């Protein structure tokens, strides 16, 4: 197990390094006069040159790359161009708020999706199954911000059940915040329902068709016992993988939902940075979200390996 | 090696003809199965409806989607089925015309992404070894990148670049196509790589290699037709995701620009009057996106089910 963990972590670190390099290359190979664009056409040439000097835009690429790597390795993350504040200071609080929203979405969606997947598998090819599969297909294909907008219209504006603006006043209690966060979190929960339910369904069907399930049925266990003790445990592995992948996607898709509800999360920082061409902020935001995705998939792989020795073997053979 | 000796009796041209005939037969069979699926029919009806809107655009809209009037923020009525927006444009007309914006961007982006991805995936799967090892790591890293965030990053920067302006013919839409295609390439490559690996050790590839065919020939004439099914499935799925991504980017303000009737853009414009109870500028474009992606995904799902039966 230890060897597996070390190998898997090493692979993740290589991928993370590649990810940083890809982002750096994308940013620096886009041939643009960014200083001129930030300062505007009317800015005097001298201030454009001063800007380039100040942020090292005239340095050789390798040197800029080294600076980025150094700032990431030391968790310093550099300085914003527009506010001149440290990037981490600008990102950390909104990132935490986005995490809260994402966590709520995950809490809402995971149990319901797993239950729906199990039910669909149990009543395979009946009307119930088809209804669940079709609902999942429909909801997971609609962009988060569209679902969010429709929920805001129906439950926020028309029915008035929940707040359709997610900026709660400071000092609101955790329960009180729910009132504001429930709609945006539901929008994301609805989108991810389809992915998780589908994976759970196919995993359970595979488990139900396997030899060990037949053995369990033959030795006289009831349907419920077979489901809980044998099928569920084995169909969880692909579901854990898909949930972990969704955690990464949650942070990618959250931007649209946050904008619909005016939620002061990551989206606000990112969209401001887009407006001001605040490259350091954008770059770090993309890298952090990518790193979150990689950490969650890494953790999922470790959990699966811990549950199932066969998965450990597979990586060993690669 | 019985296949190799059989093919030496006939010429390789007739073998290819036979294979073509078999594939045509299989295609007819798939088409017959597809037509029997209600999901496919419903999906096609929705997709064709929006395609017709995209093609006819102003010719079928009751009002001009771009002219603004003094009749702002009117609720849906017999005159304006979906109401009017905050500068008095007819929303029904704008929703119909908005189909064009998403349909000229998303499907080409998917086609370009799948083509590039097929090329990369085939290279990885066919040559294996070090090429595959390196490319696989890069693909892995790309997959961790949040598509929408990278889209935001690249599109906001690209707006400032003169070289990019040249290769995109100064069109925001072409730029969005490139960005989305590029983001999809690694995802497609991974699927195609898996399909190629399943094929590359089969007898027909070996015998082609023994005949002394070049790698290019084997990949394009032998392997490619046999992995056409997963590629078609991938393409339909990607079209769905492309619509998803393109409309999200428009909503966030880095995609198609004003005064385009694009649906994502329309939702973002209607957002600030939503709090005042003016729900129609947001609702109808949102429903338009929802129906189009559901339609595309119903079609994609049916094609997948038929090919993977």
User: In this predicted model, what pLDDT tens digit does every residue of B40-71 receive, in sequence order?
Assistant: 999 999 999 999 999 998 888 888 888 887 78
In a domain, A155, yes or no: yes
Interchain CB contact of A249 with B (< 8 Å): yes
Q: Give Cβ neighbours of residue B75 (< 8 Å, ≥ 6 apart).
A: B83, B280
Dihedral sign (CA A266, A287, B181, B307)? negative
Which residue would you say has higher pLDDT here, B200 or B287? B287
Euclidean distance between the first and final Cα of chain B, in Å?
A: 29
pLDDT of residue B290: 94
In a domain, A267, yes or no: yes
Tell me the average pLDDT across A96-102. Answer: 91
Tell me the average pLDDT across A221-242. Answer: 75
Tell me the average pLDDT across B262-283. Answer: 88
SS3 annotation, chain B: CHHHHHHHHCCHHHHHHHHHHHHHHHHHHHHHHHHCCHHHHHHHHHHHHHHHHHHHHHHCCCCCCCCCCCCCCCCCCCCCCCCECCCCCEHHHHHHHHHHHHHHHHHHHHHHHHHHHHHHHHHHHHHCHHHHHHHHHHHHHHHHCCHHHHHHHHHHHHCCEHHHHHHCCCCHHHHHHHHHHHHHHHHHHHHHHHHHHHHHCCHHHHHHHHCCCCHHHHHHHHHHHHCHHHHHHHHHHHHHHHHHHHHHHHHCCCCCCCCCCCHHHHHHHHHHHHCCCCCHHHHHHHHHHHHHHHHHHHHHHHHHHHHCC
Token output for B308? 């993977």
Which member of A31, A149, A282 has the closest CB to residue B282? A149
Tell me the average pLDDT across B235-239. Answer: 93
pLDDT of residue B264: 93
In a domain, A149, yes or no: yes
Tell me the average pLDDT across A120-142. Answer: 90
Contact yes or no for A286 and B290 at CB 8 A: no
pLDDT of residue B159: 66
In a domain, A20, yes or no: no
In a domain, A278, yes or no: yes
Q: Give Cβ neighbours of residue B156 (< 8 Å, ≥ 6 apart).
A: A274, A277, A282, B254
User: Alpha-carbon distance A242 to B258, whole Å?
Assistant: 37
Phi, psi of A90, deg, nearest 5: -80, -30
User: Alpha-carbon distance A279 to A111, whole Å?
Assistant: 39
User: Alpha-carbon distance A75 to A64, whole Å?
Assistant: 17
* CATH code (residue A167): 1.10.3720.10
To the nearest whole Å, the CA of B170 is away from the closest chain A CA by 15
| Domains contained in chain A, number | 1
Average pLDDT score over chain A: 84
Do residues A27 and A279 make contact, with C-beta atoms less than 8 angstroms apart?
yes
pLDDT of residue A275: 85
Nearest CA in chain B to A250: B146
To the nearest whole Å, the CA of B53 is away from the closest chain A CA by 20
In a domain, A163, yes or no: yes
ipTM: 0.85
- Residue-wise pLDDT for A142-164, tens only, equals 999 999 999 998 888 878 788 77
User: Alpha-carbon distance A131 to A110, whole Å?
Assistant: 19
pTM: 0.86
Contact yes or no for B274 and A294 at CB 8 A: no
Do residues A163 and A179 make contact, with C-beta atoms less than 8 angstroms apart?
yes
pLDDT confidence tier of residue B10, bands split at 50, 70 and 90: low
Tell me the average pLDDT across A89-104. Answer: 91
Which member of B252, B275, B279 has the closest CB to residue A271? B252
Whether the predicted pLDDT of A312 surpasses 70: no
In a domain, A15, yes or no: no
Which member of B142, B251, B286 has the closest CB to residue A22? B142
Window from A76-80, A291-295, B106-110, B166-170 with minimum mean pLDDT: B166-170
Rounded to the nearest 5 degrees, what angle is found at the Cα of B305, between the Cα atoms of B301 and B306?
Answer: 120
Contact yes or no for A137 and B294 at CB 8 A: yes
Do residues B113 and B242 make contact, with C-beta atoms less than 8 angstroms apart?
yes
User: Alpha-carbon distance B80 to A86, whole Å?
Assistant: 51
Contact yes or no for A33 and B160 at CB 8 A: yes
pLDDT confidence tier of residue A313, bands split at 50, 70 and 90: low
- Residue-wise pLDDT for B145-169, tens only, equals 888 888 888 888 876 667 777 777 7
Tell me the average pLDDT across A91-105. Answer: 91
Q: Which of residues 86-125 of A touch B (CB under 8 A)?
A: none
Residue of B243, B266, B108 whose CA lies nearest to B175: B108
The structure tokens 């006939």 sit at B10
Which residue would you say has higher pLDDT here, A145 or B171? A145
What whole-number percentage of chain B has pLDDT above 90?
36
Which residue would you say has higher pLDDT here, A103 or A246? A103
Whether the predicted pLDDT of B102 surpasses 90: yes
Average pLDDT score over chain B: 86
pLDDT of residue A311: 64
In a domain, A219, yes or no: yes
Domain B9-307 has CATH 1.10.3720.10: yes
Whether the predicted pLDDT of A170 surpasses 80: no
pLDDT of residue A73: 85
User: Alpha-carbon distance A18 to B134, whole Å?
Assistant: 10
Query: Whole domain around residue A136: which residue ranges?
Result: 91-317
Which member of A138, A152, A282 has the closest CB to residue B274? A152
Nearest CA in chain A to B239: A141
Whether the predicted pLDDT of B6 surpasses 50: no
Interchain CB contact of A18 with B (< 8 Å): yes
């Amino acid at each position: 197990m230890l060897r597996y963990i070390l190998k898997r972590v090493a692979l993740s670190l290589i991928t993370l390094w590649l990810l940083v390099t890809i982002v750096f290359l994308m940013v620096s190979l886009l041939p643009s006069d960014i200083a001129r664009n930030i300062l505007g056409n009317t800015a005097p040439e001298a201030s454009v040159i001063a800007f380039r000097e100040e942020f090292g835009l005239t340095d050789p690429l390798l040197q800029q790359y080294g600076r980025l790597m150094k700032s990431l390795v030391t968790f310093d993350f550099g300085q914003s161009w527009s506010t001149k504040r440290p990037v981490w200071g600008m990102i950390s609080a909104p990132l935490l708020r986005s995490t809260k929203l994402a966590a709520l979405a995950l809490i809402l969606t995971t149990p319901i999706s797993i239950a729906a997947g199990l039910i669909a598998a149990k009543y395979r090819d009946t009307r119930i199954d088809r209804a669940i599969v079709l609902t999942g297909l429909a909801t997971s294909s609609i962009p988060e911000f569209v679902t969010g907008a429709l929920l805001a219209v129906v439950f926020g504006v028309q029915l008035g059940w929940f707040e359709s603006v997610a900026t709660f006043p400071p000092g609101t209690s955790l329960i009180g915040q729910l009132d504001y966060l429930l709609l945006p979190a539901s929008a994301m929960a609805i989108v991810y329902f389809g992915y998780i339910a589908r994976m759970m369904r196919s995993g359970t069907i595979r488990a139900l068709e396997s030899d060990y399930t037949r053995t369990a049925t033959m030795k006289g266990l009831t349907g419920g016992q077979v489901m809980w003790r044998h099928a569920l445990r084995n169909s969880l592995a692909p579901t854990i993988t898909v949930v972990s992948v969704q955690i990464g996607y949650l942070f990618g898709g959250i931007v649209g939902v946050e904008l619909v509800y005016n939620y002061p999360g990551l989206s606000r920082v990112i969209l401001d940075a887009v407006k001001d061409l605040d490259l350091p902020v954008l770059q770090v935001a993309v890298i952090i979200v990518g790193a979150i995705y990689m950490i969650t998939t890494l953790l999922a792989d470790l959990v699966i390996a811990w549950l199932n020795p066969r998965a450990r073997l597979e990586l060993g053979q690669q | 090696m019985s296949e190799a000796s059989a093919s030496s009796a006939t010429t390789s041209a007739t073998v290819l003809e036979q294979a073509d005939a078999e594939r045509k037969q299989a295609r007819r069979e798939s088409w017959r199965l597809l037509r029997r699926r209600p999901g496919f029919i419903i999906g096609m009806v929705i997709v064709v409806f929006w395609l017709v809107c995209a093609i006819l655009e102003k010719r079928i809209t009751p009002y001009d989607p771009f002219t603004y009037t003094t009749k702002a923020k009117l609720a849906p009525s017999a005159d304006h089925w979906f109401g009017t927006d905050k500068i008095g444009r007819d929303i029904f007309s704008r929703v119909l015309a908005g189909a064009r914006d998403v349909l000229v961007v998303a499907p080409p982006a998917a086609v370009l992404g799948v083509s590039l991805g097929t090329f990369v995936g085939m290279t990885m799967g066919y040559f294996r070894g070090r090429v595959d090892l390196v490319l696989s790591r890069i693909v892995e890293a790309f997959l961790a990148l949040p598509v929408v965030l990278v889209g935001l990053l690249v599109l906001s920067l690209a707006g400032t670049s003169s070289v990019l302006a040249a290769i995109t013919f100064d069109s925001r839409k072409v730029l969005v196509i490139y960005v989305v295609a590029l983001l999809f390439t690694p995802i497609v490559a991974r699927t195609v790589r898996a399909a190629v690996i399943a094929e590359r050790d089969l007898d027909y590839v070996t015998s082609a290699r023994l005949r002394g065919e070049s790698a290019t020939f084997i990949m394009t004439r032998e392997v490619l037709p046999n992995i056409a099914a997963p590629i078609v499935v991938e393409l339909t799925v990607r079209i769905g995701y492309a619509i998803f991504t393109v409309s999200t980017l428009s909503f966030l303000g880095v995609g198609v620009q004003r005064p385009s009737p694009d649906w994502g853009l329309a939702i973002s414009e209607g957002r600030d009057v939503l709090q005042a109870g003016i729900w129609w500028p947001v609702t109808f474009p949102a429903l338009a996106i929802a129906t189009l992606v559901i339609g595309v995904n119903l079609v994609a799902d049916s094609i997948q089910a038929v090919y993977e039966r």
